[in-house]
Amino acid sequence: MDSILVRGNGALSGAIPIAGAKNACLTLMPATLLCDEPLTLTNAPRLSDIATMTQLLQSLGAEVASLQNGLVLAMSSHDIANHIADYDIVRKMRASILVLGPMLARDGHAVVSLPGGCAIGARPVDLHLRVLEAMGAVLDLRDGYVHAKAAGGRLKGAVFEFPFVSVGATENALMAATLARGTTVLKNAAREPEIVDLARCLRKMGAEIEGEGTSTLTIQGVDRLHGATHPVVTDRIELGTYMLVPAICGGEVECIGGRLDLVGAFAEKLDAAGVSVTETDRGLKVARKNGRVTAVNVTTEPFPGFPTDLQAQMMALLCTASGVSVLEEKIFENRFMHAPELTRMGARIEVHGGHATVTGVEKLRGARVMATDLRASVSLILAGLAAEGETVVSRVYHLDRGYERVEEKLRACGAQIERIKA
Ligand code: EPZ
């Protein structure tokens, strides 16, 4: 297992290109199962999670060609030769559950392994199953798999209100509804930019969808979809992560491809903490307004609120702020595992249930720390960039799931960072 060594090296300045969104790509890829014509994605991120989804789709009989050094994914599923999404792949990546809706909608049956939990929480899929049942799916849960059949051979439109916002369940339902008989209305649907991107891609494929970006999606089912080419939307979580580099280290960084509408609530928090975010013709330029940042309180919420996927990274910044910040994590039940690792670096953090109280310190100190999940891993890198001395982050396979070429992108801004091969 590789590690990454970071040496605090003062202010960092430069330009960082932002890649296509992992969490958009992971729902756009299963959409290929909805039709027998080619679906091509451009601006695809080059990440291990994308490789895992590629492996899963290929196991179902889809053809997935990774072109132009991984930036283009040319996919087609003339017919789905195998309708079983195997545990050995699904257990590696929860997003695998997103093949369930498309397979059910296309062929009326599917067998998908339950994903199992993960470090940040139990992360059940009950909402995915309930909305598909509302659309006429008959589900039999046995041997750790969901055995699903569409009653009468085809899903039917339904009106379904989610009891709380779920990104994945909204994505599964949205894809399934495109081929269902009749009209589907999804209420309290997720509004994330990744959902908007999926809707736009499905519309290019011939789907009839209204309301993306709002909490009510209306889909008129059609008999078949056709192929399309679609660019993956910019990754707002990678964007937010790199916006924090000048905030925590000083200096000025331009995030190429960044858009303010993708990170509204996050940018507002940065502004309140004393970090300026300026739109340029290439993206977003970020710098401290003056010296040390100040403490702010953060509560994670579904979009357009503060993203849970930026909570760990924001905590790293607030560890060095002047004053006391309270972070409330309202989406996942165990998403503060970066706190004890940051504490090893001299941070002062008290975690009580879903709240973390951070008392800022002048300087963090480098230490050996361990990545526990994807976003925790990058928060430790951020802390290491600002700390005195050396930080070694172990288990960086977590990092490689969601951030491509981290060392290269940070070195371009003057960071002293290198990968230590295991
Ligand atoms: C997506 O996960 C993202 N992953 C997550 O990003 C992100 O943190 C999350 O949305 C919230 O924004 C992908 O898009 C691949 P949810 P998802 O369904 O869809 C509970 C990252 O770091 N829930 O919105 O799984 C669930 O346990 C990852 O890139 C149920 O109880 O998230 C959680 O507490 C981490 N039953 C809450 O809802 C369900 O059926 C929100 O989950 C579904 C979800």
pLDDT tens-place string over residues 246-299: 999 999 999 999 999 999 999 999 999 999 999 999 999 999 998 899 999 999
Q: Which atom of ligand 1 is nearest to the CA of 192?
A: 12
DSSP string, 175-217: HHHTTSBSEEEEES----HHHHHHHHHHHHTT-EEE-TTSSEE
> With pLDDT > 90 as the criterion, what percentage of the chain qualifies?
96
Residue 195 alpha carbon to ligand 1 centre in Å: 13
- Global pTM value: 0.98
Ligand 1: residues within 6 Å at CB? 23, 26, 94-95, 121, 123-128, 166-169, 308-309, 331-332, 374-375, 402
Domain 22-231 belongs in CATH node 3.65.10.10: yes
Mutate to test the pocket of ligand 1, among 53, 90, 123 (most ligand atoms within 8 A of CB): 123
Q: What is the pLDDT of residues 352-379, one digit of tens each?
A: 999 999 999 999 999 999 999 999 999 9
Burial class (CB in 10 A: 0-12, 13-18, 19+), 362: exposed
CB within 8 Å of 340: residues ≥ 6 apart: none
**What pLDDT does residue 12 have?**
98
Residue 168 alpha carbon to ligand 1 centre in Å: 6
pLDDT mean across residues, the chain? 97
Alpha carbon distance 329, 331 (integer Å): 6
The answer to whether 255 is a known catalytic residue is no
> CATH 3.65.10.10 residue ranges in the chain?
3-19+234-420, 22-231
Burial class (CB in 10 A: 0-12, 13-18, 19+), 204: middle
For the domain spanning 3-19+234-420, the CATH number is 3.65.10.10
Q: What is the pLDDT of residues 220-248, one digit of tens each?
A: 999 999 999 999 999 999 999 999 999 99
Minimum CA distance residue for ligand 1 atom 39: 125
Minimum CA distance residue for ligand 1 atom 42: 166
